[in-house]
Amino acid sequence: MSGKEKPHTMDRRRFLKLSGILGVGFATGGLLPISESVAFNRKLYKVTDIHMGMGTVVSITLMHPSRIQAEEVIGQAFEEMDRVIALMDRYRSDSPIGVLNKEGALVGLPADVARVLDRSLYFHKKSNGAFDMTVQPMVDLYKKHFETKGLPPSEAELDKVLALVDASAVRFDGKSVHFKKEGMGITLDGIAKGYIIDCAADLIKRNGIKHALINAGGDIRAAGGKRNGTPWKVGVQNPDKQGPYLDIVKMKDGAMATSGNYEIYFDEEKLYHHVVHPRTGISPRQSDSVTVTASSVMDADALSTAVFVMEPNTGKRFIEGIPGAACLIQGRDEKRIASKGWPC
């Protein structure tokens, strides 16, 4: 989230890179200007703006008959994102998540935070614990050890912190939340980014704009296609950043998110990274990246995180049991596994 220190200089989960958005000015790999407004045809203007947020590059592209309205709505969408980011940022001591992690309890939850907590607990149960927002103490332990010693924590240290990783020990009633174990903490990094994008997309829709594409460092929300039903084209980047895209997905309406091991990692071999298995405390090593499509970016975000800690074929079967979801998994052996329903 905003303000967060990085263990590596690269941004979090930037797999569907801005340069991977084809057909909206990125085919050559060069970034658009910070703000661009051009007449796409006689009926529509294409308006794009790019900001930094959530530790990555965020672009919003709208196509609308009114250039002025499109520019105004993009500004409002970025303001909406900033509003929700402030609520979800665990690195801000005065944010709801910051207060919860410090005090172990919080009463009077903001509606946005309650929605994300509710969905987080839902996916924890749905994934049989593969998605777990209470991994925060474990991630912080790895970060501290590699920054100070250049080595992973000891088995004894891992076991001590693993006892705090338990989403079933989070008591939540929609209005308040508290931890049953002292020392617990949560991170919403695996789901909040998607929710923030969904909030911006909902605002755009409420303002009557039908054609939109939001890309926040690999989390994608598409609406309406470009024009006349023409879909947006999104390139799924190869994890080793060499060679062709893993796939190019055509999207009219929908969402996509990717989780992987190669953007934020603690060691040069990339064996220890920001995604840890909630049961073992070890970073999963079966896959390099998992891309999920779903009806919302929040769901795609959480599902990609859950599948990444699973064995690839197990993850594929899990996604095939989620209505409206599909996945593409790139294994460490470079083998690709696509679920039923993966868009081609």
* pLDDT on residue 3: 42
The 10s digit of each residue's pLDDT in 133-154 is 999 999 899 888 878 887 888 8
Q: Evaluate if residue 110 carries a pLDDT over 60.
A: yes
CA 249, CA 233: separation in Å to the nearest integer? Answer: 6
Q: What is the mean pLDDT of the chain?
A: 85
Amino acid 27: pLDDT: 30
CA dist 15 and 288 (Å) reads: 11
Q: What percent of the chain has pLDDT over 90?
A: 63
Q: Rounded to an integer, what is the distance from CA 144 to the centroid of its chain?
A: 23
Q: Residue 94 has what DSSP assignment? A: T
Whether residue 31 is predicted with pLDDT greater than 70 in this model: the reply is no
C-alpha closest to that of 87 among 111, 103, 71: 111
Tell me the C-alpha to C-alpha distance, in Å, between residue 29 and each of 23, 163, 235, 344.
11, 45, 11, 22
- C-alpha span between 321 and 304 (Å, rounded): 14
Read off the pTM: 0.86
Confidence band of 13 (pLDDT split at 50, 70, 90): very low
Is the separation of the CB atoms in 78 and 60 below 8 Å?
yes
Domains and CATH numbers, the chain: 107-179 (1.10.3980.10)
pLDDT in tens, 216-239: 988 999 999 987 779 999 988 777
Grouping H, G, I as helix, E, B as strand and the rest as coil, residue 264 is coil
**169 burial via Cβ count (<10 Å: 0-12, 13-18, 19+):** middle
How confident is the model at residue 231, as a pLDDT? 93
Q: pLDDT class for 242, splitting at 50, 70, 90?
A: low
CA distances from 303 to 61, 126, 200, 309, 316 (A): 25, 10, 20, 10, 11
Task: Write out pLDDT tens, residues 272-331.
Answer: 656 888 988 887 878 889 999 999 999 999 999 999 999 999 999 999 999 999 999 998
Q: Is the predicted pLDDT of residue 7 greater than 70, yes or no?
A: no
For residue 166, the model assigns a pLDDT of 95
Q: In angstroms, rounded to a whole number, what is the distance separating the alpha carbons of residues 26 and 165?
A: 41
* Average pLDDT of the segment spanning 15-29: 33
Question: Any idea what the Cα angle at residue 87 is, between residues 212 and 21, rounded to 5°?
Answer: 25
235: which DSSP letter?
Answer: E
